């Protein structure tokens, strides 16, 4: 069974159509303004509408205020809310009580201790997304973590991997970690924030979709 594949940071209808056409199971829309992949709330709602019923849509938030979170969820109505900042388990639980959507938490995987600390989200997050530790941005930096940290790890939650994945290494990453979901953003771009259809197709093929 091939892993689920999320193409994140989509910004145009053409991006959405390409991801779906080549077999993505999930797409991600980024509301974090400092990112070159960010979109406005209006665009996010339009892209979500375009994808509805064809693929699961994740909305990426980074330390958004209560008001901004509420406005975003009401406007976009995503299938998944992906928190990519320092959001607490309590905050995730509060959001889960308000909306009928999955809640994912991205975590920078620095060392084995991270795998212990992440247990605080058990029973709250529907999926943990292991990413490279934050750098200039919380994610989408094109850097990878040490996949060996996940080798033979006994997971207690649904999970996936992100960080530095691209068409050339995603098959290796899947083999090394056994990841049930892989998430890519900068690895399928021709420039920051500019998705490349050929790279999207190559990534999905390499991931077995």
DSSP 101-112: SEEEEEEE--SH
Both tokens of 61, joined, read 């938030």
Q: How far apart are CA 175 and CA 181, in angstroms?
A: 12
CATH number of the domain within which 179 lies: 3.20.20.70
In 22-179, beta strands by DSSP E: 26-30, 56-61, 80-83, 102-108, 127-131, 159-161
Phi/psi at 47 (5° precision): -70, -35
How many domains, the chain?
1
* Beta-bridge partner residues of 159: 128
Residue span of the structural domain in which 34 resides: 4-206
Q: Could you read off the pLDDT tens digit of each residue along the chain, which spans 209 residues? A: 899 999 999 999 999 999 999 999 999 999 999 999 999 999 999 999 999 999 999 999 999 999 999 999 999 999 999 999 999 999 999 999 988 899 999 999 999 999 999 999 999 999 999 998 865 555 556 679 999 999 989 999 999 999 999 999 999 999 999 999 999 999 999 999 999 999 999 999 999 99
The burial class, CB within 10 Å (0-12 / 13-18 / 19+), for 46 is middle
pTM: 0.94
Q: How far apart are CA 194 and CA 145, in angstroms?
A: 23
Structure confidence at residue 140 (pLDDT): 57
The burial class, CB within 10 Å (0-12 / 13-18 / 19+), for 136 is exposed
């Amino acid at each position: 069974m091939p892993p689920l594949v999320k193409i994140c940071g989509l910004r145009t209808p053409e991006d959405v159509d390409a991801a779906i056409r080549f077999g993505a199971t999930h797409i991600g829309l980024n509301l974090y303004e400092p990112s070159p992949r960010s979109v406005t709330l209006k665009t996010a709602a339009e892209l979500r509408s375009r994808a509805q019923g064809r693929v699961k849509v994740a909305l990426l938030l980074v330390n958004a205020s209560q008001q901004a979170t509420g406005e975003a969820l009401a406007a976009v109505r995503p299938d998944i809310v992906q928190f990519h900042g320092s959001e607490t388990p309590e905050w995730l639980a509060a959001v889960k009580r308000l909306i009928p959507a999955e809640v994912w938490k991205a975590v920078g995987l620095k060392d084995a201790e991270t795998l212990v600390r992440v247990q605080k989200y058990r029973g709250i997050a529907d999926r943990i997304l292991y990413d490279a530790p934050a750098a200039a941005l919380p994610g989408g930096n094109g850097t990878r973590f040490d996949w060996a940290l996940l080798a033979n790890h006994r997971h207690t939650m649904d999970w996936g991997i992100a960080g530095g994945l691209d068409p050339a290494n995603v098959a290796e990453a899947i083999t090394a970690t056994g990841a049930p979901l892989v998430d890519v953003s900068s690895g399928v771009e021709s420039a920051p924030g500019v998705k490349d259809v050929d790279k999207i197709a190559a990534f999905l093929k390499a991931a077995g979709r």
